[in-house]
Amino acid sequence: MEQVIRAIKDINQTDVVVAAVSAVACLGALLELPVWAVFIGWAWYLAIGANGRAIREGAVTAAASGIMALMAIVLTDVFAGVMTGLLANMLAVFIMILVLMVSLKFSCIKHSLVGFNTFSCVFAGYYLSAFPVQSDYWLNLGYAFVYICGSNIMGLAVGWLAQKLSNASLRRKETAKEVTA
């Protein structure tokens, strides 16, 4: 209990800013965005460097991996015409994860955390209909990519925004201390 009380007493401006930005990010649900995907992208931002480069590199890796996930979905559907659904899924995932592994050796696609998370988010999100489902197969794939992978990439920017807001608040405090000193 003592740790809990100490943790509550130690709440700082960054804690409040992160909580506020998180709450505002939930408004994405009004646009039918998978808000969970935004939070995953935010975690990537922190994990891969918490800077502008993390956004750029994370976005490139996410987009490439999202496309690979869509290709796995299409391959699953193609293979399902000649084999059982599970076997079709396993073969499609094997092929596209192998492509992902090779792609992670390229200088522009370098973050395995982002790559595997995006692949998983798009692949699972597609089958969970975590986007506005369309009646046309190809349009449906496009919507899945834009909504799910786009939300992941948006999360990178949300992480940056939270960091900038936290730092701006802290800088104002430091500047005020310097002026009064």
Torsion of CA 123, 89, 61, 139, to 10 degrees: -50
Helix axes 112-127, 52-79, angle to 10 degrees: 40
What is the C-alpha radius of gyration for the chain, rounded to an integer number of angstroms?
20
What digits encode the pLDDT tens for the residues 129-181? 999 999 999 999 999 999 999 999 999 999 999 999 998 855 555 555 665 55
Element (H, E) at 12: none
> Quick one: tokens of 173?
């405090």
Ranges of each domain in the chain: 62-160
152, 55 Cβ separation under 8 angstroms:
no
49 backbone dihedrals φ, ψ, rounded to 5°: 140, -20
Can you tell me the distance from the alpha carbon of 99 to that of 114, in angstroms, rounded to the nearest whole number?
15
pTM: 0.87
What digits encode the pLDDT tens for the residues 95-128? 999 999 999 999 999 899 999 999 999 999 999 9
